[in-house]
Structure 1
Amino acid sequence: MAPVPVASTSAWLPSRRLLDGLSVAAVAVDAAGTVIYCNDASVSLFGSSESELRGAPLATTLFADTDRDAAQQVLTRALTGAAWNGDLRLTVAGGRAREMSTSWSPVNDGLRTTGVLLLAEDTHAGEPDEGTSPTAYARLLTRRLNRLAAVTADLLAATSVEGVARVVTDHMTDAAGATVGSISLLVDDDTLALIGVRGVTDAVASRWSTFPVTDSNPASEAVRTGKPVIVEGRAEMTARFPDLAGGSSEVSTACLPLLVAGRPLGAVTLAFPGRRRVDGPELLFLRLLADICAHAIDRIRAQEEAADREAKLAFLADASARLASDLDYESTLVAVAEAAVPWFADWCAIALEDDGRLRNLSVAHAQPDSAPLVAELEEKYPADPESGQGGYQVLRTGQSLLVPEVTDEMLVLAARDEAHLRLVRKLNLRSVLSCPLKVHDRVLGVVTWVAGESGRRFSADDLAFGEDLAHRAAVAIDNAQLHSQVRDVALQLQRAVLPERLPETPGWGTAVAYLPAGRTDAGGDFYDVVPLAGDRLALFVGDVMGRGVQAASVMAQMRSAIRTLVAIDPDPATVMSRLDDVFERLDLEHLVTLAYAVADRGRGTLDVINAGHPAPLLLRPGSEVAIVRADETMLLGAGRGTRGVVTLPYAPGDAVLLYTDGLIERRGEDTDTGMDRLIAAARGLGRSEDLTAALAAVVEEVRDPTRDDDVAALVVRREA
């Protein structure tokens, strides 16, 4: 073989004396992969003179057939500036193949990589060529344990998941002798996300930024099965994972599940050049690394979750104090939105419903430069209220929307044109959380958090926090709106409608208790007692579904209509039938429940009719309590229907209790429980000398302590 010109090695001259004195083989190649230098140790090891080695292609000259492709891959990688350490089989003197520890270091002239320095150490010197003797294995295991110790120290020192990812892609990949290393973690039960990778192009990293757990690839299979997935070479990869087949290079892959007590967190993927057989000790070494990595991630996440929970509780406490301290909810909500950025999200938008449309109240962004982009997006591509997507989906359904990972495919599907797509891509949306500003069944608006530059992915815990904060904000909005827009008008109307006091009726004892809900004095509950000829009384308690001025207006209409109908004919069936006529002719939209009764001293009877209202209670002089149930109780406003009249004996000392549902209903509890509570409290009510005080005590004992609904209760007792 003709020697190459010495001029090509001039860049190495300052280091040649050092390399010449090494006891391990040192070989230098140029950017074409051609040998330009070799020291005495390499001449001795490979059994060829320096003149024979210089000018020869490195991969095909020094490496065994089985590892030439792997050597070429490592060389190509090193020429891009990436160092590598690992075991490969080289051809030594006598043509024998021998596994050696190799180190590949790129060499540059300050501007570009000009070559690679290869150091090869025969760690099996003095052992059989197969390198399978106990001594050889002991040396191999010693090297791996040393690497394990070094990586373990780095993982224990890591304080963030990103830090663990760097250890995996740098130190763990090198310790395992892989050319490519990556770590993917579960972001939800169905999705893996790439959080760190080394040794691949940007295009490949983008392709695997997120992928399904159900996908056919080694990492997904390792997570699904909880077992390592080892693929030796291109042929096995093609057979087991056809979708990943491609390329002419031989590559072996080891995917190791990250498990903590059997719970999968993700997977580490290592790619090795050539056909690499992972034996038992090496697999144990890799699994130990993966286990340490998994426990490091679990430890860090537990610490982060604890800190996150503490921060969320503090934020909620502060937000609640702000929201409760000022009826100017708009300025308060702006402050809350700004406080959430950038701690919880990169930007936050609060929009209130206004005649079916969302009106932005506040948009806070961690990067002020992005605010014009958001404004441009809203101006050029306003959300369509009819689309049922995004914020309008949350507004319509009252259900939160969590998108843990915003993929580019989602953006493409949502974009209206290319300009729209470019604009949303500039916003760098990574994750989205939208929660309704909801009070009971009313949705007042939508609060949206977006994660972008920070890379945060919103989780189920974030959803719970967001819904809690949104509910608190909604309550503040609701309280302020009711206070400023409804309270005065509704109170005046209610005072004009409800009787100041019940009429004095000889031979009858009457008492009423009316307690408005905590948020406003205006509700839909109404009641009255009307004296009739013939020593009779008409009494009723009703409830207009809804609140505020409209409910109070319907309440006024209902009470006036009932009193008018009673004056014409107080018969229960007649009154209820004519109320159906009122609903039909006035086209009232509200539903109304009503319990109506006529007490007759002469006949000694009580006639009761019910329109979807809680069943009255008949209280006997002893402790007997009877529930007055009717077979048919169709609501007023739900259509015309027949309602049965229940006639009961009504003797001296008997009392009847009519009430609204606020007395027996509590959130998360069935009405039977509330009814049982009322019956127990009301047993002695009819015997009380002070009927008003006794009724007030019963109501106070039984009603929902949250004061979430109005309560009206009316008791009429036949005196002796």
Structure 2
Amino acid sequence: MDIHEPMSKLPDQPLTVVGYAGVLRDLLPVALWRTDAGGRILEWSLAAQDVLGHLPEDLLGRDVRRTLVPEGNWELAEQLSRRVLAGETVVGTLPVRHRDGHFVAMEMWICPSADPQGETGVMAIAVETSAVLRMRDSLAAMEGLFTQSPIGLAMLGPDLRYQRVNDALARMNGVPAAGHLGKRPTEVVPGVNVEVLESLMREVLQRGEAMVDVRGTGRTPAEPGRDRMWSCSFAPLLDITGRRLGLIASLIDISDQEEARSQARRAEGRFALLADAGARIGTTLDLRRTAEEVVQMLVPEIADSADVQLLEEVLGPDEAAESGKGMVRRMAASFPEAGAPTATLVAGTTYQVPLGSVYERVIADGRPMDLFRSDLPTLFPGTGPGDGRLRDYLGSRIRCARLVPLVARGRALGAVVLTRMRDREPFDELDKVLIDELVARAALNIDNARMYTGQREAALTLQRSLSIAALPEVTGLELTGRYLPASCHEVGGDWFDVIALPDGRTGLVIGDVMGHGIHAAAVMGQLRTVVRTLARHHVPPAGMLHSLDAAVADLGENEMATCVYAVHDPVSGDCLIARAGHPPPAVVAPDGAVDFLDGSPGTPLGTGCAEFRAERVPLEPGALLVLYTDGLIEARGRDLDEGMRELAIALRYVDRPLEDTCDRVLARLLPSAARDDVAVLLARRSPRRAAR
């Protein structure tokens, strides 16, 4: 309880209207009740009913102390009543009983009031303490916000003329607060999009609904040389009848935050672009395709044009390096503008880099360089038919360019030239960081593609040099064979060979070196040479595999291969066959029955186990011997046993031409691209027995 000192006497002015007090109806309901000289309730206001719940018909004529005052405060209530009846007015905070039994703390103004009999009674004007505190805090907060807040605040009338402006808004607009009063926003800050804002304010007044986070943009006298941005919110001011009194406007300068968000969005976009570049550049090991992917990442997201150029000396073989010194070749380019002289910028064109030119300095120093309008023609100093037109185009349509060297593993490979048109801002620092990072990543992908292309060409050359151009004609056998690499970009170590031996017999060999690429092809070539050499010295199949095992072991611990070597005798028709960890050959009888050899499989070459045994397999006239590598029968979702069953089905029709049989086998077992290299060798015994 908080009882204050008595206030001075107030004139006895009974209220003529009891109920809600105008504008206080919603903000601060004021409860009023009166008693006669004996303490009986004579009047109970509607506001009192709302706050305390008691209905007038339940209270009128009842003792106020017993009805509303807690029992513990009866003595205090009696003291206050005597003071008021003596003519004093007191204020205090007292608990009052609510209809449901709980007590409500209320701040009261208790004063004398004449009752109907002309005696002195009591009138209490009370407000709920919590509501008073809320209003006090709200008013203090509003005043503090309006006078101290960094947010720009203004009150405008229904005619959208300023009625009050805080100092923060005055500073934003560069106009004193007094200079706003009585004026419309269009008169104070004409450099801002105030026509749009005033239209929105009128909409707020008409609809009676607030509008939040409307963007204001433009320049004010505070900073006439810089564009600013504000987050504006408008809320209507309405009286109890709904009449539009005006509106409250709040403005927050978000220029710096918006710029920071813009930079953050740009940074996020750049990170996303870098991540995308990792997925999109280098999808193949094709050099030209990789260069095209680089251009597609740069245009039009970062630049209006991009030109990827590589030094001829890094593209050709070593012996051609000197002849291509100082020459560059355009690998990919994009000049999307209609007026660009693209005829001189097609991929595949080459030109000599002039000594001392910008291009030469960029490649030699390995550092990026920026060029602007007057320097742009130096990018293409040539004297060819289209070079003059190209220089004119650069000087008239291009705003800026950035040259970035392609450097990978410490070696300059060429450069990427990017440009932006006149209607676009020059590259900023964030752009340059992104460009340089993208080009650095692209350089590694291009270098990988370049090295792979060189290695692949070398492997293909080696493989072609080691492969047999055509199968020989041998006694007693009809032959055909196929080699299918896993992809056109990669070679492996699968091979087969047919060797005509000096005594009329025939050596048949098929093998699979672990791995791919030039190394596997080189190992395959060595094994093929060993087989051919030893075969002509009449080394039997088991001995052949022993020798090959030692040869593979000599190449290193990580080398491994599988192999089948067979020797066919045209007189007996028999084949002596030995295996080294290789899938079992298939034998197809003239009636179409298919059997897979179940003799000793042996161990792969290079393991050092050297467990090889030969198996004699008779071939009837018209029978077919099928040698193959595991790539034929292995596939995703298919095990070896299933692959062998599929092979047996494909081999049933043994009486057809051998080429057709081979095609049927490949079509059935390899309906799509194989995951591994495949080699197949088919040998069919001639129908007639050969004479010795």
The TM-score normalised by the length of structure 1 is 0.41
Which structure shows the higher helix fraction? 1
Instruction: Determine which structure has more spread, i.e. the larger CA radius of gyration.
Output: 2
